[in-house]
Structure 1
């Protein structure tokens, strides 16, 4: 695989040289004096940062102070709440009585009248038939009651701040998940049944898988060629890179129809992962679907930054990413109006650019589509548990040493949010059942993470997650505030019911923040799988809302309860909406425009996506 240094970045026509600016495009040495430290003070600060980085290697990047503050807040308030103490003791006694009655009924009659407790709808750990038999049903019921009791202990303690309560409850749940009876061979009926059926061969296979994973983690075995690789079996939609600068490559895809809609479409993916979530295998590629619908599609492919990018900030991503891409799309297509769509944080970035353009009287954005993208970070879900002043200061010091946030740190945080599905179920399946799940394109993409520059990551965590500056109208571009209510282009927004990264009710808030018409779709699935929802995908459903600017603002929960569920993919709804907001058709466009200074540079998927 090519490294960044091996990629040809020689300047071409309309291709920026790879010199890297400081914040907002300024060289680091031009930073104002108040942002610099005296030499002695800087030395002491360096000592602190190195010490924090050393601690982070043992805590997976989590601030121990932040966690200690939460537990201290909870424990101290619980210690002066005798009523709460009596309540949880009474709950413990009642749960023990229910469990004893359940066990006695089963011992006497061979079955119980009913379960003590039902697992939550998303908890599938005890869904197999084997968990209905004794003693495994006892193990499962006992564990679920314990889990519920700890939820009672960690919540509704008077005086504890809301964030500390959520943090304590989250980590208590993570700790309990470790001791689930499903995680151990002797208390998991599926594992025991498999061992009897296969004569223990599952344990032999599982042990070999564990050794193989350990050697790969320690880099003691050669890397196997990946099952999916960009340009081989994913990211294979035909096209060319038509523009490149130090932050992104812009891909234009080949037309699939003789005529195309007059307005081209620019896709802005998140910079956390590689762009090809939008162009996976041919059968579930959103890019390929849009091209077949007659759209001229452009897509940004972000660079995978290293230490040289440490001083690239969030504003640089707006200017050198979205705005530079819009300039190129306009020049190549000849269209003054451009459809835009942003996925995840790419949508947030697009909203920043759109608000700045609206502020400055630039009306090139014809429509704005927000795919699982938040603009209000007041309630970011469980991901927000990792964001407070202590955690950010700690994380900034970790990133300062390397100049970027490494992939494994991001992956670890996201896996903790869904530890049942992404950690423990995988360990049981691989190492106890001896079953290796074949990779699919979405799983392969999910492991193809990117690094993030020190300054940019600190900017977006502090300005968006911690201070919520974009929704409050305090975020600045070119030194001036941008306001989401300035956006007048019609908006299409998508939320997903199982989203743990951008909870759909937080995405829904843009209906109230944009002063324009909004068509909102709530689809089944998670943050990634809900977006990759091609027509014909089994069991997909969605709801839709057509909000007209000036109407009373809807309540998210009320709307969800009242709106009927529709079968199928949301992609045709989006295509219909884009066509409805297009002005007609033109002959299919050639790729690039040499006469305008944008000749094709190389075949899609380009070079940046291949940098590890």
Structure 2
């Protein structure tokens, strides 16, 4: 037992000791990286490499500034709007009370003692065994965060601070629950941004890489950052790795119909016979349709064709100034028109329909309008992928629907459409650690090459949204939840009442979906009146849907009890099935109507002279920017 005075009995001694530790750690890192070289005295050749890389970075930055200055326009959004928003946010932030401050410092001192105690007082001693630190986080799992006392203290202090800030929100009194949730989300976003892993000077992995490459990683990282600033979007994957129609979106088919809103693709059959009732898929217009047709192994579209379905998919046009007056009615009319076009083309009375995400919300309204008009039998069955109709429990996206957000959308929609990069940034914020800061570290600080990942390529292939529609969607559905109020909304001149919908329905929800939470998707069961099969799939909004049987990944849950009324009760009595839910879905589809016909004539698009197709799949609209 040492008789040395406890350095933490006085906070000033603790800070002094931390500064000593930082110096020791820095020298230790240099010593490990360049054995035999004095840590603060690099040789001449190394000094030249450092100077060259520093000059390159300075030149890149100056060129970028000059380039951007030339693009300044008088039509840029008024920055005072953003300042007003930030000011209003500041006024909503809680004041830190003295008791919380004192608790934080007390907890900090205890934490410092505990962490340094793990190192046995031998600061800078790099033993093979990593100390057992009190707080865990995947951002700091690298051994360099664990084995050096300075970086252990840095990230442990940060995690303690994060806990304290988030708990302060929980302790707030007199704040409405929805506002508290919004504040909790905002605080977490700020805390995530302040992580020491996001800064070169406090990230030991980045420091080591910088020493190894003499700063070349930072040069490469700056090039990545400037490229992203030019395109106004964070890059997640190699932008040159995928080409539509060549190695992504390659299922054979033809564009058979086209309007100013969408192209309709019909896929070529791969079986001699097909089910008589065709399938039409309505993907969300917030993203490109080919999430359902990535590569042959992941493609739901190709798989559905192989199951003997005649598959049609709508490819929505990315909004431009010509769509400034487009509203929700136009998307509903497009679905109605598509259903009728397919029925007429194949001379069939009915179609199966799938609606994914917001297109599923729209499909619910379409079905209600058909029911009101006495035409519901045009749809044999309806399937909903992670789609909401009741937005009371719509999850974290509810943080983006207040008046400030609506004002921001208006400010950014000068030509009548919202640039898809803003929506992409919003979705990235929902998982900031994984979709923003992880890439800041890898791409900008470590200077790593981008991976070739089809899902991330699709995620960054954004679409623009009609501003008028998007504003109405946020206000009338998310904020006011009017879709579930009978006849509160109308479209195409017809009032909407979801209780009129009695079409056989298959509802898929993602267990870990943060965009359309399972609890919210479940509520569709409370508004439709026909038979409903509900499936809870493993994973989230994308991987829970795009999960082919051959992957052997995840699982799904089914509860056959027709009297289950809550998601909690569904989970308690559900049977877990390994793998993909797709085979369960196709079995359900066939149970609706198993009649088959020859895959000939217009079932094989463009195969007969009278079938005047427009172009090969995936068509022009999916490639328009």
Cα separation, 2, equivalents of 1:535 and 1:109: 54
Corresponding residue number in structure 2 for 1:155:
170
Q: CA offset at residue 307 of structure 1?
A: 0.5
Q: Deviations over 1:355-377 (max 9, x none)?
A: 11112111111111111111111
d(CA) in 2 for partners of 1:597 and 1:347?
A: 33
* Cα distance in 2 between the residues matched to 1:94 and 1:361: 69
Partner in structure 1 of residue 455 of structure 2: 442
Return the alpha-carbon distance in structure 1 between the equivalents of residues 152 and 593 of structure 2.
59
> SS of 1:373's equivalent?
coil
Q: Distance in 2 between matches of 1:160 and 1:218?
A: 40
Gap regions ≥5 residues in structure 1: 1-49, 80-84
Q: Residue 239 and residue 500 in structure 1: after superposition, are their counterparts in 2 closer, same or farther (change >3 A)? A: same
Asked whether 1:103 is paired with 2:121, we answer no
1:117 Cα deviation from its structure 2 partner: 3.3
* Deviation of the 1:182 alpha carbon: 1.4
* Matching of residues 195-594 of structure 1 within 5 Å: 195=210, 199-200=212-213, 203-215=215-227, 217-218=229-230, 226-319=240-333, 321-362=334-375, 363-399=377-413, 401-473=414-486, 474-537=488-551, 539-546=553-560, 548=562, 551-554=563-566, 556-589=567-600, 590-592=603-605
State which structure, 1 or 2, has the greater radius of gyration over its C-alpha atoms: 2
**CA offset digits 1:61-100 (Å, max 9, x no partner):** xxx555544543453xx68xxxxx4663464255225403
Assess, with a 3 A threshold, how the Cα gap between structure 1 residues 546 and 192 changes in structure 2: closer, same or farther.
farther
Number of residue-to-residue matches in the alignment: 537
Tell me the residue number matched to 2:79: 55
What corresponds to 1:117 in structure 2?
135
Matched residue, 1:10? none
Aligned residue for 1:402, secondary structure, equals coil
Which of 182, 204, 211 is the matching residue for 2:197?
A: 182
- Per-residue CA distance 1:182-222 (angstroms, 9 max, x = gap): 123343343345456xx226x413422422441464379xx
Aligned counterparts of 1:596 and 1:335: Cα–Cα separation in 2: 21
Residues 104-134 of structure 1: CA distance to partner in whole angstroms, max 9, x if unpaired?
4313388899543344xxxx21233333323
Check whether the contact 1:387–1:461 (CA below 8 A) recurs between aligned residues: yes
In structure 2, do the counterparts of structure 1 residues 505 and 87 end up closer, same or farther at CA, with 3 Å as the change threshold? farther
Q: For structure 1, which segment, 592-601 or 447-456, has the greater mean C-alpha deviation from structure 2 after superposition?
A: 592-601
Tell whether the 8 Å contact from 2:119 to 2:131 is kept in structure 1 after alignment.
no
Does the C-alpha gap of structure 1 residues 173 and 225 become closer, same or farther in structure 2, counting only changes over 3 Å? closer
Q: Give distance in 1, aligned partners of 2:342 and 2:557.
A: 32
**Equivalent residues of 2:506, 2:533 under 8 A apart:** yes
The 1-side partners of 2:230 and 2:274 are apart by 51
* CA distance 1:472–1:129, change in 2 (3 Å): farther
2: CA distance between counterparts of 1:240 and 1:168? 48
Match of 1:26 in 2: none
Change (3 A) 1:210 1:86: closer
Please state whether the residue corresponding to 1:284 is helix, strand or coil: coil
Q: Residues 106 and 112 of structure 1 are in contact (CA less than 8 Å); yes or no, is this contact kept in structure 2?
A: no
> Structure 2 CA distance, aligned partners of 1:558 and 1:417?
28
1:134 to 131, 142, 148: 148
* TM-aligned CA distance change 1:211 to 1:74, over 3 Å: closer
Structure 2 unaligned spans of 5+ = 1-73, 123-128
2:57 corresponding residue in structure 1: none
SS in 2 for 1:312: coil
CA distance, structure 1, for counterparts of residue 572 and residue 98 of structure 2: 37
- Choose between structure 1 and 2 for higher RCO, CA contacts under 8 A separated by at least 6 residues: 1
What is the rounded CA distance, in whole Å, between the counterparts of 1:225 and 1:379 in structure 2? 36
Provide the C-alpha distance between the structure 1 equivalents of 2:116 and 2:144, rounded to a whole number of angstroms.
Answer: 19
Taking the aligned partners of 1:421 and 1:112, their CA distance within structure 2 comes to 25
CA distance in 1, matches of 2:187, 2:489: 36
Q: 1:143-189 CA distances to partner (integer Å, 9 max, x unpaired)?
A: 11111100111223111122222222222222222221212334334
Q: CA deviation at 1:298?
A: 0.5
Contact 2:253–2:605 (8 Å) recurs in 1: no
Greater CA drift, 99-108 or 110-119: 110-119
Is 1:376–1:468's contact at 8 Å kept on the other side of the alignment?
A: yes
CA offset at residue 257 of structure 1?
A: 0.6
Q: Distance in 2 between matches of 1:325 and 1:365?
A: 12
Q: Distance in 2 between matches of 1:382 and 1:501?
A: 7
Aligned to 1:164: 179
How far apart are the structure 2 equivalents of 1:128 and 1:181?
13
Q: Distance in 2 between matches of 1:328 and 1:215?
A: 43
Residues 489, 496 of structure 2: 8 Å contact kept: yes
Q: Is the 8 A contact 1:239 1:251 kept in 2?
A: yes
Q: Distance between the aligned counterparts of 1:277 and 1:52, measured in 2?
A: 33
The secondary structure found in structure 1 opposite 2:318 is coil
